Structures are given as structure tokens and as C-alpha cells.
Amino acid sequence: MLKLLLDFPQQLLDAAKIAKEINFSKDTGKGFNKALSSGLGGSAIGADLIKSYLSEECKIPIIVNRDYTLPEFVDKETLLIVSSYSGNTEETLSAYKEGLKRSSRIVAITSGGELKRLADKDGIPCIVIPQGLPPRCALGYSSIPIIILFSKMGLISNKERDIKDAAGLLDRLKTEALSCDVKEDKNIAKRIANALFDKYAVIYGASRHTDIAATRWRGQLAENAKQISSSHLFPEMNHNEIVGWRHPKNLMKDLIVILLRDEGDHPRVKKRMDITKALIEKEGVDVIEVHSQGAALLSRIFSLIYMGDFVSFYLAILNNVDPTPVDAVTYLKKELAKT
């Protein structure tokens, strides 16, 4: 897991290279007015990133689907991106077959498996990414090629410079603030992991851009550190969850809040975060603020994700667990395969 984390900045560049070398037919980028990405787990988080990053620029709406079935509106005018790292995710294969029946414009992204076999058989464009990674560690491969595909289709501007800048920023972050040889006083991930040890983390982001980071932190704490947490978003949490920060009183000492912040947050959201932090601290709960780094939006999103990935790794060490295997998921799939 450590090697995968250290190699992640290069993965962004490798993913961009894969996408640039793919030749799509002229029809691939025509005839649709909406995009829907269908996938689960580590394959879906790439779609979350794309939606969060491009929602204010993309010329068509982007929807993320995590289910066996597709929404009723999916039709022949839908760009359906079917994403399964293994190629064998049963929910995703079901969505693929349904999209095929509806004559959707399908693009598959996978490392192989049944999805690639079906795509090859059906003549569906397929982006093939490297095998051998835990799906959650292939975030660059599941997101960057689609970003470049959208650029080729004319839906967004060229993002090659932003991708290169993001990779460079993560490489610097790794060297200066995240890797194992950086001592705790300069290592933000080690400090946060120590603070989260034996605590229940509540992770907050903003619905505009840091929603993806909040989801990623929750997922990585679960899969890598084997530690449960929850997440919610501003401004919505100010209309319900904020009221709940009073009870149960005996649990408050076991809670800790991670507040993910970005310079692009709406000014009113920034103010809401300040007020909410003060309210929660009045209940005796520590609040840790984590600020994005970098200039461009893609760099800032990836910086929050990358810091959270390292936090989950160090927390796994504190929890005395191997961050790589996900035994509960493996067991669940085996049980499902029996029926």
C-alpha cells in the first residue's frame, strides 16, 4: 500500500498517456445530451471526482450511478460510462447490459474481466487500464482518461496542463509532508492519524468541490484503516446535522471532526464552516481543519484526497491492521456468488 501511495503522482501522468493514445471513432463524441457513469466502490470514486471537478464547466450534466439498474432517463442520447476496475462487478455488468438495450453511447473503462470481453464482443469503445491494483488505488486511472476523453469530445477545455500540475504538486506533497521519512512535526498525515486513533471521525466538506474528498476520506478510513467514520456536506449539514451535536453526551469525548476546506468554497459556506466549528468545539469535540493546496482546482482536489490516503495508511499502522486486503468485501462477494 505504501508503494502504491508513493507511486500515485506518476499514475496521473501514466493515465493521461493511456488516454491520449486511444483513438475513438468520430461517432463516440456525438449524439448525446447527458453523461452518466455507472460503477461501485473504487471504480465509482473516479466518477465522483469527474463530476465535482467538471460540473461548472462541462456542457452536459454528469450523473453518478451506483446500482444494478439505470435511471429511466438513460436513453440513446446518454453517454454511458461503465466503470469496473476488475471488469467483473456484478452491478456494473448489469448496468452495461441495460444501457446496451437502450442504445446508449457506451464507453467502458476496465483492466479486463467480463466487461472487456463484452465490450470487445459488442464493439463498444473500451479504455484498458493496468491490472493488479486494489480498485481504490487506481483513482488516477479511473478518472484522468475520462477527463481527457471529455476534452477530446469538446465538452471541456484541454486539461493536460492541469493534470501535469496536479502530479507535480502531489509529488512535492509526498516529499515534503506525507512520506514515512518526514517526521511528525512536519507530517500532516501522521499528526491527523494520531489524532484519529481510537476516535470516531466525522468528515465535512462542501458540496461544490470538496464533496469528493469527504467521500474519499470516509472510504479510505474504512478500507485501509478498517475504521468506521461518517461524512456530510455544507451547506446541507447546517440544515439538520448541526442540531445533533449535543447528544449522546457520553460519546462526545470519542468524536473528532475533520473539516476539509478549499479556497474555492463559496464565501457563505466559508462563514458557515467557521460558525459550525465554534459550535462543535463548545461541545468539547476537537475540530481539525485540512486545507487544500495548489493553484488549479484539480490540484486542490487531489491534494485533499492524497493527504487523506496517507492518513488512512498511518492510521492502519496505529490500528495494527494491514491496509491492503478488504476481507469483508471479499467474503461478501463469495457469499453472493453462492446464490
CA–CA separation, 260 vs 326, rounded Å?
26
CB 187 within 8 A of CB 177: yes
| 101 Cβ contact partners less than 8 Å away, ≥ 6 residues apart | none
Q: Is 176 a catalytic residue?
A: no
Q: Is 223 a catalytic residue?
A: yes
Can you spell out the DSSP letters for 231-242?
EEEETGGGGTGG
Helices 113-122, 90-101: crossing angle, 10 deg rounding: 10
Look at residue 203 and give its three-state secondary structure: strand
The single residue of 174, 223, 226, 277 carrying the catalytic annotation is 223
Helices 297-318, 2-20: crossing angle, 10 deg rounding: 150
CA–CA separation, 200 vs 294, rounded Å?
29
Q: Is 51 a catalytic residue?
A: no
The single residue of 152, 164, 270, 333 carrying the catalytic annotation is 333
The single residue of 3, 101, 183, 239 carrying the catalytic annotation is 239
| DSSP letter assigned to residue 175 | I
Task: Point out the residues that are catalytic.
Answer: 223, 239, 333
